[in-house]
Amino acid sequence: MSRMERCPLCRAAHRGGAQCHRCGADLTLLLTIEDQAEQWRVRAMADLANGDPNAARTAIERACKLKRTPYDSILQAFLSSDRG
């Protein structure tokens, strides 16, 4: 799972809480979005394992709209090469 590494406001290293330890920013919404993106990634892999590349393609596109990772780009490239 790809988790926030730094606070987007003050760039302090993220220590895992819902609030930045340095500036006090509420990170709850951003962490929720990251979790939702990860759920779409998991769904994409399940769809692919179940032989449904079209559903996998849709799921990974939804993950990317929330938060794109290098893994997502690789999976998208793989899925676009298999337009079956």
Q: In this predicted model, what pLDDT tens digit does every residue of 21-71 receive, in sequence order?
A: 999 999 999 999 999 999 999 999 999 999 999 999 999 999 999 999 998
Please name the residue that has the structure tokens 């920013």. Answer: 25
Q: In which residue are the tokens 């794109």 written?
A: 68
Other C-beta atoms lying within 10 Å of the C-beta of residue 83 = 8
Question: Based on the structure, what is the number of domains in the chain?
Answer: 1
pTM across the whole model: 0.82
Asked if residue 65 belongs to a domain, the reply is yes
Residue 57: which domain range?
33-81
Residue 54 covered by a domain: yes
Backbone angles phi, psi at 26, to 5 degrees: -80, 115
User: Residue 74: which residues within 8 A CB-CB, separation 6 or more?
Assistant: none
Neighbours of 9 (CB within 10 A): 12
